[in-house]
Structure 1
Amino acid sequence: VPVFGTWDDHDYGKDNADNTYEFRAESQKEFLDFLGEAEDSPRRSREGVYETHTLEKGRIRLILLDVRYHRTPYSADDKGDFLGEEQWAWLGKTLRESTAEINLIGGGIQFLAPRTSILGLDVAESWTRFPQARQRLLETVLNSGARAPLLMSGDVHFAEISEGVCSKALMSDV
């Protein structure tokens, strides 16, 4: 049974780490070694562990994002990025070229979670920390023509299903 994965902060190296983490290249190598990634894999020659897989005879496209390697530090103005331009271009191309019936897009942090929790606390890590990047992600997905996009996220230590109504579609994050 194949295992596919992307990382989050503790796989990457330290809590809530970003692109200033000094051992990110070493962490990438260790992570890929742990997953048994082939030595000639494109993931070993680029900055970041993002990847895509086609499953179930082409019916499902699994797209895994890397929200650590290029993530800019959080700032008061909420401007920043998670992916870096190379990964943005790759994501757009991957989605536009997908012929799958279902496109699963996974990442280490929540895509659709609100900025504050139900307890009124600031959410430490989610795409809402960088609203422009989040908007870019949603537009990239919705404008790509990819069928049945479903967002899958991690990091939080509980289960949740979030929905966001966009002008073109209903987006779900599990």
Structure 2
Amino acid sequence: MPRRTITLLSFFVLGIVGLVGAGLWLMADPKTGIGFDPTTSEFLFAPNNPEVVAMGSQVYADNCASCHGDNLQGAANWQTPDENGQLPAPPHDQTGHTWHHSEELLFRITKYGSAAALLSDDPVLSMPAFEGILHDGEILAVLSFIKAQWPKDVQEMHDRMSR
């Protein structure tokens, strides 16, 4: 292959990589500054950012508390399917299993619903999708709020597990 062709191809590939990187960077929500970090390929929860946590608290109260409880306690008997065969809403405090899932999976479950996020048609999975209801920054804010309520040792375990 001629050297000029290799050089042009290299510039083309670098341009594409740059555009993709810029597009991923732009996935950060402009209101919160949280989003997807293209340098680490990780979602960014911000449990130590008071503004993000405050926003997440309001989003939680408006969209999540009716099922998961005002204090993240979940529904009664959340581990036993109800009369429709669906699991009631689990707690999001440290007594539940939320912190056992990576940031990426928690984001996908919230955005797309549990069945779609887990690629399952199991009727026991009943978490609805919030895509079209909440924007990505609001989803990340509510997940940041939830994480901020966990004890520091649980937050640290979740950080290690999410990596």
Task: Normalising by structure 1, report the TM-score.
Answer: 0.23
Greater fraction of residues in helix: 2
| Greater fraction of residues in strand | 1
